[in-house]
């Protein structure tokens, strides 16, 4: 919780956190034109059938683990397309499963005319392995045309996949070296709707001084389009994993402030980003769900595992597990962390401000009255009654009557800076004033011992009244304050205890004086506090 309250950089993957996590197949392209999934012509249906063959479609193998593969297979199934379209008697031979570092999924299948190699993956990976398109060499103008189509689809916020196939030799094994000399069949455009509340959450985090970065494996244009829609870009740029790999640590440190989106990054590059942000004295939170994300999650000050899809490795590495994957939940956790700093400021203000007031009153009465208003035992009694239970009750209860936006302005820099000094000085002045007023008002109608005891009750009552007035009338705080007042009344009025602490039992009019100064302290605290600004977090 303490680290959450200090976070000033929050690194998100896009899928399922900023978006709804419902990836669906929207459009199919042959590399030049595209059609909606519900209105595909024969040519586009052939492209989608090839994409199905390039997916983990094996019959009888249970569920498909990767959401992108599920989206492709579900989209094809809805319009009646399967792996056997165009190719009769198809049977599975071998496959290379998708991995982020590899960037593609490949299958080797057998049909009546021999073996068929089908590959689906990131366009920049697959296009480099393609040698033909539409029966002609895939170079020059043809490559530029396909790249323009990829860019067009990506700028609309689509996740783009490329699909390639070729006949294969009779070798039944499959490795990376064999995935090449493909003919580009076409492109798939998938979409994951942005959460309706994500833009507001990002804006709220920005206003709290938290830099929100998108760290994703998606195409840079796709990531940039979504980042712009969420208000994350703000004049900053996009850095790809390939570009990041070309930078040394010093160069990366120089460009980091100007980047809002990191696209096509690998898990190892995520870990490097966390290390670099920490070197820049940023307090980093990193989200992730895969086993490969565990190093970055562990390196962050606050590692966040996205619970519904997190692997055991990611969960073990994380400090916080978000069971619904929503950015709003992460924001709520951050608010709780900031609220802790608000409670710390108030508890420290109670302890330090009250003690300063006690010291000020004791010194002042010693200078102007010839003897200190409080003796050592009474000072110890005051600390026991005002600093132990009431301060602890304030520290552990949530800040009452404070909006989430206000709590997000809290944190170590703001809560323990000028705002804390204001709290300390205000409490010290009101505490010393209440005690001094009780002492002065009681002197003409009391013995010196009774005047000093009236000042003691005014001092304790004034501090407890301030605690209740501003720190919340919660049952815990009120109960702690009333318990302390009851204990004080017992000490003052019981002869043996009163004598032990150097007090004198008070008469009704002396209790009335102490009660009046107590109420005055609460009113002064409310009026003074109302004229002071809330802490403001500096934003870059």
Q: Where residue 56 sits, what CATH number does that domain have?
A: 3.40.1110.10
Which residue is catalytic, options 8, 13, 192, 211? 13
- pLDDT band at residue 298 using 50, 70 and 90 as cut-offs: very high
Domain boundary among 147, 171, 191: 191
Q: How many domains, the chain?
A: 3
Average pLDDT value for residue range 75-83: 92
Residue in the structure block whose two tokens are 């508890």: 347
Q: 151 lies in which domain range? A: 24-191
Query: What is the pLDDT, as a whole number, of residue 405?
Result: 61
Residue 537 lies in a domain: no
Known catalytic membership, residue 13? yes
What percentage of residues in the chain have a pLDDT greater than 90? 56
Domain with residue 354: its CATH number is 1.20.1110.10
200 against 86, higher pLDDT: 200
For the stretch 207-251, pLDDT in tens is: 888 899 999 988 999 999 999 999 999 889 999 999 999 999 999
Instruction: Calculate the CA 312 to chain-centre distance.
Output: 21
Q: Are 253 and 307 contained in the same domain?
A: yes
Query: What is the pLDDT, as a whole number, of residue 533?
Result: 52
Q: Are 133 and 278 contained in the same domain?
A: no
Give one word for 346, left, alpha or beta, with left for phi > 0 and alpha for psi -120 to 50: alpha
Residue 331 lies in a domain: no
Q: Are 366 and 505 contained in the same domain?
A: yes
Contact 182, 117 (CB under 8 A): yes
Query: What is the pLDDT, as a whole number, of residue 148?
Result: 97
pLDDT at residue 531 above 60?
A: no
Cα 46 from Cα 41, distance rounded (Å): 9
Average pLDDT value for residue range 247-256: 95
Q: Of 187, 163, 161, 168, which Cα lies nearest the Cα of 117?
A: 168
What percentage of residues in the chain have a pLDDT greater than 70? 91
- Residue burial 370-389, b: 16+ Cβ < 10 Å; e: rest: eebbbbeebbebbeebbbeb
Query: What is the pLDDT, as a whole number, of residue 20?
Result: 84
- Residue burial 106-131, b: 16+ Cβ < 10 Å; e: rest: bbbbbbeeebbbbbbbbbbebbebbe
Residue 333 lies in a domain: no
Average pLDDT value for residue range 318-345: 82
Three-state secondary-structure class, residue 11: strand
The burial of 175, by beta-carbon neighbours within 10 Å (0-12 exposed, 13-18 middle, 19 or more buried), is given as: exposed
Q: Are 470 and 363 contained in the same domain?
A: yes
Q: Are 480 and 356 contained in the same domain?
A: yes
Query: What is the pLDDT, as a whole number, of residue 87?
Result: 77
Q: Give the chain's largest Cα–Cα span.
A: 115
Contact 518, 465 (CB under 8 A): yes
Q: Are 228 and 240 contained in the same domain?
A: yes
Tokens for 19, please give them.
């978006």
Angle at alpha carbon of residue 30, lines to 77 and 15, rounded to 5°: 60
Residue 135 lies in a domain: yes
Query: What is the pLDDT, as a whole number, of residue 207?
Result: 83
Q: CA torsion 328→160→121→163, rounded to 10°?
A: 150
Cα 128 from Cα 126, distance rounded (Å): 5
473 against 523, higher pLDDT: 523
């Amino acid at each position: 919780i303490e680290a959450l309250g200090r976070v000033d950089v929050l690194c998100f993957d896009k899928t399922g956190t900023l978006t709804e996590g419902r990836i669906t197949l929207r459009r199919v392209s042959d590399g030049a034109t595209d059609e909606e999934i519900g209105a595909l012509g024969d040519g586009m249906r052939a492209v989608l059938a090839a994409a199905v063959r390039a997916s983990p479609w094996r019959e009888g193998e249970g569920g498909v683990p990767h959401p992108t593969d599920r989206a492709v297979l579900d989209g094809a199934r809805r319009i009646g397309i399967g792996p056997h379209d165009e190719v009769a008697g198809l049977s599975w031979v071998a496959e290379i499963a998708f991995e982020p570092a590899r960037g593609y999924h490949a299958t080797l299948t057998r049909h009546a005319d021999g073996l068929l190699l089908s590959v689906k993956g990131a366009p920049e990976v697959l296009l480099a392995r393609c040698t033909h398109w539409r029966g002609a060499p895939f170079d020059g103008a043809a490559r530029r045309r396909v790249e323009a189509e990829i860019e067009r689809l990506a700028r609309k916020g689509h996740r783009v996949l490329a699909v390639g196939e070729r006949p294969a030799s009779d070798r039944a094994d499959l490795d990376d070296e064999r995935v090449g000399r493909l003919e580009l069949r076409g492109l798939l455009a998938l979409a994951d709707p942005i959460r309706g509340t994500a833009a507001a959450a990002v804006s709220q985090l920005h206003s709290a001084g938290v830099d929100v970065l998108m760290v994703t494996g998606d195409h840079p244009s796709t990531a940039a389009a979504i980042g712009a829609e969420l208000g994350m870009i703000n004049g900053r740029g996009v850095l790809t994993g390939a570009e990041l790999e070309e930078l040394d640590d010093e160069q990366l440190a120089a460009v980091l402030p100007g980047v809002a989106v990191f696209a096509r990054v690998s898990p190892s590059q995520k870990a490097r980003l966390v290390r670099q942000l920490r070197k820049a004295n940023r307090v980093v939170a990193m989200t992730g769900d895969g086993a490969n994300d565990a190093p970055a999650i562990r390196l962050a000050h606050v590692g966040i595992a996205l619970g519904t899809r997190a692997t055991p490795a990611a969960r073990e590495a994380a400090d916080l597990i978000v069971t619904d994957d929503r950015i709003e939940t992460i924001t709520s956790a951050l608010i709780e962390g900031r609220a802790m700093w608000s409670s710390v400021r108030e508890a420290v203000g109670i302890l330090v401000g009250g003690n300063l007031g006690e010291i000020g009153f004791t010194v002042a009465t010693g200078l102007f009255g010839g003897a200190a208003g409080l003796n050592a035992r009474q000072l110890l009694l005051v600390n026991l009654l005002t600093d132990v239970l009431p301060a602890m009750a304030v520290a552990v209860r949530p800040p009452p009557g404070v909006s989430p936006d206000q709590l997000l302005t809290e944190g170590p820099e703001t809560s323990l800076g000028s705002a804390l000094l204001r709290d300390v000085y205000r409490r010290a002045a009101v505490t010393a004033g209440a005690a001094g007023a009780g002492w002065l008002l009681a002197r003409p109608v009391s013995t010196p011992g009774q005047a000093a005891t009236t000042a003691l009750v005014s001092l304790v009552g004034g501090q407890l009244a301030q605690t209740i007035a501003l720190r919340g009338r919660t049952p815990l705080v009120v109960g702690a304050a009333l318990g302390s007042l009851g204990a004080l009344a017992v000490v003052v009025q019981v002869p043996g205890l009163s004598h032990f602490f150097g007090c004198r039992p008070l008469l009704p009019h002396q209790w009335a004086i102490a009660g009046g100064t107590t109420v005055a302290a609460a009113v002064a605290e409310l009026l003074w506090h109302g004229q002071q600004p809330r802490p403001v977090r500096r934003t870059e």
